[in-house]
Structure 1
Amino acid sequence: MTSQPPVDPRTGPQPQSTPSEIRANSVLPAHREDIELHTADGMVLVGELATPLDRPPVATLITLHPLPTHGGFMDSHVYRKAAFRLPALADIAVLRFNTRGTSSARGTSEGEFDYAQSEKYDVAAAIEYAEFHDLPHRWLVGWSFGTDLALMHGHDPAVEGAILLSPPLRYSHESHLAEWAAEGKPVVALVPEFDDYLRPAEAVDRFAAIPQAHVVPIEGGKHLWVGESYVRRALQEIVDVVAPGHGELPTTWSGPMEEAEAPDLD
């Protein structure tokens, strides 16, 4: 996993005269602000909201990061790159935050890791923040542990559906899947071919409990989505769900662009 870049993408990027390739650490223009989430049990969580620079977002990603006891945090590389790219490339808002007891360069969220139990308040606070700030078409995007949080605590009227990256189905149970089935909201699971915990064939069986769930096998992929080609695949699948009709994400950019510090996983 990775730390926040020292480059501040809020300030002074230099324009590019010709299209440049969007690389692993490219930071495209957006309005980025540090935010705080306040939970019902009195915790303050730190995060960031990235939105399009000069127009309203068409959809909102509420991201739920991987297991903090194994290096997951708001800067986990797929989410960091989503925040760096999607506001500019697809007019999508990206909300990232550290769940309770989790630290990043942004800071440390109050509280302690609670094995997906008290984290229900964290998920609710993030959804409430997005709703209160009129962020449209709110989708939960979980990765690994974050998928369990989405399935366990994310069936909220203010959420349109859930996108799950590398779902292990570790903390979530059949009762949680049944709640999503009853609500009928879309659930899309992006399951790497060589995932460490749940692979596509088993995922199809497990997610059969949610009739409307769609399992997308990611050929050659692994649990951590290492490699720029897999990051691009993840972002494209996400955009296809939350902004249907947008089309293929570009791989070049002709406007201002910064380069962030290289993360541990690219």
Structure 2
Amino acid sequence: MDIRASTVLPARREDIELHTADGLTLVGELALPETGPPAATLVCLHPLPTHGGMMDSHVLRKASYRLPALAGIAVLRFNTRGTTSDRGTSQGAFDEGEGERWDVAAALEYADFHDLPNPWLLGWSFGTELALRWGRDPLVRGAILLSPPLKRAGDEDVAAWGEFGRPLVALVPELDDYLRPEEAARRFAAAPQAEVIGVEGAKHLWVGEPYVRVVLDEVVKRLNPAAAPLPTTV
């Protein structure tokens, strides 16, 4: 069977709640390999909720549909404060990336408490800003950024991640609306360990199965290299 955009592979899926230090309950889902412990954990930070971003944004949803089965990776997705998806609405209100620091902390606390191994952050657009600003936690093994705009998170945050020392991978669409590969390479130079990968033909929203495969393969290369590249059939 070919793996298509709508393919959902077997996993142990559980609706979860995250509890923030400022008293909010956030809704989410944890997808685990069907058998055995995960090799690593992907904590997903979605795009801008005021422009339709949520835990079901398509790249994150497809990560949860495929990576537990194909790469043994646990995928934790959740709605940041005030965000709605089919899973429900998280308490609170959108806070321009400020109060969301507690949302990121709550997700990492959940991963820690439930012994989810080797957590990496996967941020997309607005989610990259949350990763850069609030993801510098000793628990975090690294971060993968999709379409980083470097607006709310700026050069000082990139430099701070450089000092943090953990791996940082930026997947930058050739045709991005906000930041393209050449400028991204210049700005991410403030973090010496950062790897900027320009993706030919891709746009900010990563529409199209070939671009989703690029993203998921790059994720697996970092979190469980033995499973890369991902198969296209099952």
Give TM-score, length-normalised by structure 1.
0.87
1:38 to 3, 15, 19: 19
- In the other structure, the counterpart of 1:222 is 203
The residue number in structure 1 matching 2:41 is: 60
Q: 2:151 aligns with which of 170, 176, 191?
A: 170
Post-superposition offset of 1:176: 1.6
2:123/2:146 contact within 8 Å kept: yes
Say if 2:70 and 2:227, in contact at 8 Å, map to a contact too.
no
- 5+ unaligned residues in a row in structure 2: which ranges? none
Q: Say which SS state the counterpart of residue 227 (structure 2) adopts.
A: coil
TM-score by length of structure 2 reads: 0.99
Shift of the alpha carbon at 1:242?
1.3
1:30-86: CA deviation from partner (whole Å, max 9, x where unpaired): 000000000000000000000000111001000000000000000000000000000
| Unaligned stretches of 5+ residues in structure 1 | 1-19, 254-266
**2:173–2:180: 8 Å Cα contact kept in structure 1?**
yes
Quote the Cα distance in structure 1 between the aligned partners of 2:210 and 2:157. Answer: 32
Residues in 1 aligned to 2:68 and 2:187: alpha-carbon distance in whole angstroms:
33
Q: Out of 182, 186, 190, which is 1:201 matched to?
A: 182
Q: In the TM superposition, what is the alpha-carbon distance from 1:214 to its structure 2 partner?
A: 0.3
**For the Cα contact (< 8 Å) 2:46–2:126, is it kept in 1?**
yes
For residue 61 of structure 1, give the secondary structure of its aligned residue in structure 2: strand
The equivalent of 1:139 in structure 2 is: 120
Q: Counterpart of 1:69 in structure 2: which amino acid?
A: T
Structure ranking higher on relative contact order (CA contacts 8 Å, 6+ apart): 1
For the residue of structure 2 that corresponds to 1:226, the secondary structure is coil
The equivalent position to 2:66 in structure 1, one of 64, 85, 93, is 85
Calculate the aligned-residue CA RMSD, in Å.
0.7
Kindly, what percent of the aligned residue pairs are identical?
A: 67
Could you say which residue in structure 2 is the equivalent of 1:124?
A: 105
Distance 2:158 2:3 in 1: 37
The one-letter code matched in structure 2 to 1:72 is: G
Aligned partner of residue 89 in structure 1, secondary structure = helix
Aligned pair count reads 234
Q: How big is the shift at 1:173?
A: 2.1
What secondary structure sits across from 1:198 in the alignment? coil
Amino acid at match of 2:49: P
* Partner in structure 1 of residue 92 of structure 2: 111
Which whole-Å CA distance do the structure 1 matches of 2:212 and 2:227 have between them?
Answer: 18
Aligned amino acid, residue 43 of structure 1: L
Q: Which runs of 4+ in 1 moved over 6 A?
A: none
What is the aligned partner in structure 1 of residue 163 from structure 2? 182
Q: What is the CA–CA distance in structure 2 between the aligned matches of 1:247 and 1:187, rounded to whole Å?
A: 19
Aligned residue in 2 for 1:10:
none
